[in-house]
Structure 1
Amino acid sequence: MTEATIEVRGLRKRYGPLAAVDDLSFTVRPGRVTGFVGPNGAGKSTTMRVIMGLDRPDAGQALVSGRPYAQLPVPLCEIGALLDPAACHPGRSATDHLRWLAHTAGLPERRIAEVLTAVGLTDVARRPTGGYSLGMRQRLGIAVALLGDPPVLIFDEPVNGLDPQGIRWMRGLLNSLAAEGRAVLVSSHLMRELEGVADHLVVLSRGRAIADTTVAELIESVARGRVELRTERREEALAALTALGATVAVTGDDSLTVAGLPAERVARALAERSVPHRELGPHRPSLEEAYMEISREAVEFEPADLPFPGEVAP
């Protein structure tokens, strides 16, 4: 039996002079949630469209469980995807929308009720979807992805439009799908949502993968050599540490993160200036911090040439 995976191999896709995806390779493996992240224009949407057979690559290939999408015998039962929550006729009910999809794949009628219950749309299932909120359309798109009970799933910004309760539900759903042995790819701009869900990350920049690693390894690579401290005399601490060549980030009213000096040297520098401090130790960045660090040079559109928030360099 072929393992449930997504394999992207040497993928290239151009739109005129623009290289949307450039020699991209990565694998989404079963039993884990893989986060798919990068700045706007990095190539995420193009890659997902190629995987789903909606765009044809100029070179390379994207395989679902070892085969291109076009060669899957019953695609809905091999891979489910939420790419566009608005991909439903506004005059059609959720039930009817799912019914015609189920019919194309030879799925039983009961499966429609099962996925509507799973996403919490049973009470509004017969209402025209044109009156749905963004969050309700998101839930319908998730129901479509789950309809064929596929072993491979793609979700593009799945928490967009969901309220806090819906976001919590989505986290649990993603974790449960991976725990069942499915391969799950999730594209998101919300690092805080991925941090509690994703096991692995593929980070894109200008169509290329700049990181393909576990979440823990990514955070550790950014944390290495940094220390964190708390002090009531923040400005004096900043002056003392930057004078020694350290890069210091303000991370709170009384907290600083220091790069470029070991903890022992930080403590000595503050003692020499009689600056009291506490909780001096290794810094463990959030996933959002780690992502911002490695993708800082990859942002295509910036509002202004500003320093990294809170950062003071020598």
Structure 2
Amino acid sequence: MRATIEVAGLRKRFGHTMALDGMSFTVTPGQVTGFVGPNGAGKSTTMRVILGLDAADEGSALVGGRPYTGLRDPLRHVGALLDASALQPSRTARNHLLWLAHSQGLGAGRVDEVIEQVGLGSAAQRKAGGFSLGMRQRLGIAAALLGDPPVLMLDEPSNGLDPEGIIWMRGFLRSLAAEGRAVLVSSHLMSELEDTADHLVVVGRGRVVADTSVAGLLATASGGRVSLRTSAPSEAMAALTQAGATVTGAGTGTGTGTGRDALTVTGLTGEHIVALLNRYAVPFSEVSAHRATLEEAYLELTRDAVEFRAAGQEATR
């Protein structure tokens, strides 16, 4: 069964604080959707509203066309991991999953399947209270998978994982989406989402700032910039600006070049830049199209939505 998450016009106030201010987006099957934003942007509140843990003042949040509270055997419809520490520490990993499975009419066989699926086979009989954060994350994901749901919601699933675990998580999330599931992942690790997510919902101050594909966002953020390395930056700048380009970086008084020989050029293609430098005999060692990182794109989108900033720290531009 394929299902979507549909969030429409959510508003939620806690006292004088507006946590959600018209939050609207859709998580579609067959892809990993990254859910990102600064602290206080409304991510956790949105996920709690979707799961019926908080009630919205206005708007709706539906899973497969129905509110979560109206789902029978909800683990068969949506699996969620919001807090990896939400477990009884004296229970073994297997027993923790068994009582969840029994509440949904699922058997012990399914428990053993998900334990192996998340790589906890050798730790199944250990008490969960002694688990590392990374192991608790795996146990929480196993719980989310118990009902083989078409929708998954995971909050910071890579938190606490070692490098091997992070690589596993990356491939695991993509495999779940490839099976036709709708996967919503909240994370602060932009480098992980860049390699994992197909789509991004960027939020700030309780609203959606951007709802776009990762590829589209990176293309926009790259902005047609070309990176140039040259041992003669002044000569290169003169030739390129005369041709109508804008040049920033070392020696220009603007930008943040990565070295004395680094320039960033906009307004000309890489091929045109190479031709001009050859024409004026300006030496260069590299001309390459700039590809923005997801972190750069995210910081640009959310620079005005950061609620908490240390004294003296300016918004990223």
- TM-score normalised by the chain length of structure 2: 0.88
Q: 1:95 to 1:253 in 2, by over 3 A?
A: farther
Q: For residues 79-98 of structure 1, what are the structure 2 equivalents within 5 Å?
A: 79-98=78-97
Partner Cα distance (1:137, 1:253) in 2: 47
By how many angstroms is 1:77 displaced?
Answer: 0.5
The Cα offsets for residues 5-51 of structure 1, whole Å up to 9 and x where unpaired, read as 00000011111111111101100000000000011111000000111
The Cα offsets for residues 238-292 of structure 1, whole Å up to 9 and x where unpaired, read as 8994599995332467544345x44589779989998643433432111121112
Match of 2:21 in 1: 22
Q: For residues 273-288 of structure 1, what are the structure 2 equivalents within 5 Å?
A: 276-288=283-295
Matched, 1:75 2:55: no
1:285 match: secondary structure: coil
Match of 1:52 in 2: 51
Q: 1:216 to 1:253 in 2, by over 3 A?
A: farther
Q: 1:193 to 1:238 in 2, by over 3 A?
A: farther
One of 248, 259, 278 as aligned partner of 2:255: 248
Q: 1:214 to 1:145 in 2, by over 3 A?
A: same
Partner Cα distance (2:88, 2:64) in 1: 31
Q: 1:217 to 1:242 in 2, by over 3 A?
A: closer
Matched, 1:299 2:314: no
With 228-237 and 181-190 compared, the bigger mean Cα shift is at 228-237
Match of 2:119 in 1: 120
User: Partner letter of residue 289 of structure 1?
Assistant: E
1:155 match: secondary structure: strand
User: Partner letter of residue 218 of structure 1?
Assistant: L
2:255 match: secondary structure: strand
By how many angstroms is 1:220 displaced?
Answer: 1.1
Asked whether the equivalents of residues 249 and 257 of structure 1 are also in contact (C-alpha less than 8 Å), the reply is no
Partner Cα distance (1:272, 1:298) in 2: 46
Q: For residues 1-314 of structure 1, what are the structure 2 equivalents within 5 Å?
A: 3-232=2-231, 241-242=247-248, 248-251=255-258, 254-258=261-265, 261-263=267-269, 276-306=283-313
User: Partner letter of residue 306 of structure 2?
Assistant: V
User: Partner letter of residue 24 of structure 1?
Assistant: M
Asked whether the equivalents of residues 248 and 263 of structure 2 are also in contact (C-alpha less than 8 Å), the reply is no
User: Partner letter of residue 199 of structure 1?
Assistant: D
Q: 1:308 to 1:302 in 2, by over 3 A?
A: closer
Asked whether the equivalents of residues 226 and 258 of structure 1 are also in contact (C-alpha less than 8 Å), the reply is yes
1:85 match: secondary structure: coil
The Cα offsets for residues 71-124 of structure 1, whole Å up to 9 and x where unpaired, read as 001101100011000000111111111011000100011001001111111211
1:210 match: secondary structure: strand
Asked whether the equivalents of residues 247 and 258 of structure 1 are also in contact (C-alpha less than 8 Å), the reply is no
Identity of aligned residues (%): 60
By how many angstroms is 1:137 displaced?
Answer: 0.5
User: Partner letter of residue 287 of structure 1?
Assistant: L
Partner Cα distance (2:80, 2:58) in 1: 23
Partner Cα distance (1:128, 1:242) in 2: 57
Asked whether the equivalents of residues 232 and 261 of structure 2 are also in contact (C-alpha less than 8 Å), the reply is yes
2:62 match: secondary structure: strand
Partner Cα distance (1:305, 1:72) in 2: 49
1:249 match: secondary structure: coil
Asked whether the equivalents of residues 227 and 258 of structure 1 are also in contact (C-alpha less than 8 Å), the reply is yes
Unaligned regions of 5+ residues in structure 1, if any?
A: none
Unaligned regions of 5+ residues in structure 2, if any?
A: 242-246
Asked whether the equivalents of residues 93 and 126 of structure 1 are also in contact (C-alpha less than 8 Å), the reply is yes
1:248 match: secondary structure: coil
